[in-house]
Amino acid sequence: MHYTVGEIAKALGVTAEGDLSLKVSGVAEPQAAEAHHIALAMKPEFAAMIPEGGAKVAMLWAGADWRGMGLAAALSAPRPRFALSGLSAMMDAGQGYAAGVHPSAHVDPTAELGEGVSLGPFSFIGAGARIGSGSVIGPQCLVGDDVTLGEGALLHAGARIMARVTVGARFIGHPGCVIGGDGFSFVTPEPSGVEKARASLGGEGTDSAQSWARIASLGAVTLGNDVEIGCNSCVDRGTVRDTRIGNGVKMDNLVQIGHNVVIGDDTMVCAGAAIAGSSVLGRGVVVGGCAGVSDNLRIGDRVILGGGTMVLSNVPEGRVMLGYPAMKMDAHVESYKGLRRLPRLFRDVADLKKAVFNTGGTD
């Protein structure tokens, strides 16, 4: 794909200067850029590396001296990284999924395929499934019985949408994601050690081992519009009601969403994070990498959980949390500073004890 600088500027709504007829076909870091690339130099420290490459045009910050950098043209925006969102979409060559239905794909006779649906090799569409128009189902994907998949969906290789799941429009499921696997729900004939430990805050534990009885997941999963689920991430179905994921939710790789969880619109869950069963996350929440939320908790709107944070109690809206157990980030930072000062404090106390002993003090 080749675009002129002028075409890109018009499509993105950004400012273009210099030779707008220059054609480019990709993007690159400044030091590795060639003549057909747009150098991504959105900060002065990146722009300093432009002379190391061969780019003639760069994406810069507003007001940058592009002529002084030896460029023939420049694109600029008040928020260059936001402009990169549109630019990267224009330059994305995709995964090469072919149009049409591959001969090895299985489509149940009762399934409904919208106009322009693409099915890759060895994909499976179950009974009663409804696939929205313009959707692309990559190779070795599963769309289970009675699934509803909205228009414009993209399932990458190996994605699994289990039975009776409802997915909104423009869904993106990356390789290996599983939507609608059973929840992790088990119970013992008598109160378990876990139940006793929780009730007693650790004062009482397991008396004897018991066998676990499985609780079947009778609910499903409902996803809103514009949801994206990363590689090998899982959203479990609900026990009785559906697990619900709001509009615009984005999940990274290796994320685990437990049964009955409710996630509000525009929430982001980063790699390796886990949300335990029946917890509710508000709108615009950000869950950092490898963070965890315990079960049956409520996380308010716009809460930010820093990487590795472990939440064991409810969090009011707007809080920024860090640590294990989670606390307000500023308090955690102060406590960490105090922890780092402990060795010096111990040395000071030891020196004071020596001074008191040397002066003959007894009190």
Determine what percent of the chain is predicted with pLDDT higher than 90: 82
Under the banding of pLDDT at 50, 70 and 90, the label for residue 202 is: confident
- pLDDT over 70 at 316, yes or no: yes
Architecture of domain 106-322: 3 Solenoid (2.160)
**Does position 37 have pLDDT exceeding 60, yes or no?**
yes
pLDDT at 361 over 70: no
Rounded Cα distance, 71 and 291, in Å: 44
Catalytic-role residue among 37, 156, 174, 259: 259
Q: What is the mean pLDDT of the chain?
A: 94
pLDDT at 337: 87
pTM for the whole structure = 0.89
Of residues 345 and 303, more confidence is placed in 303
Closest CA to 245 of 294, 308, 179: 179
Tell me where in the chain the CATH 2.160.10.10 domain(s) lie.
106-322
Is the pLDDT confidence value at 362 over 80? no
From the list 230, 242, 331, 224, the residue with the least C-alpha distance to 283 is 224
Residue 216 pLDDT greater than 90, yes or no: yes
- Better pLDDT: 199 or 220: 220
pLDDT of residue 360 exceeding 80: no
Residue 166 has pLDDT above 70, yes or no: yes
Region(s) of the chain under CATH 3.40.1390.10: 3-91
Burial of 42: CB neighbours in 10 Å, binned 0-12, 13-18, 19+: buried
Supply angle C-alpha 333, 335, 338, rounded to 5. 110
Decide if 2 is catalytic.
Answer: no
DSSP state of 79: S
Per CATH, the homologous superfamily of domain 3-91 is: MurE/MurF, N-terminal domain (3.40.1390.10)
If one compares 351 and 272, the residue with the highest pLDDT of the two is 272
Average pLDDT over residues 301-318: 97
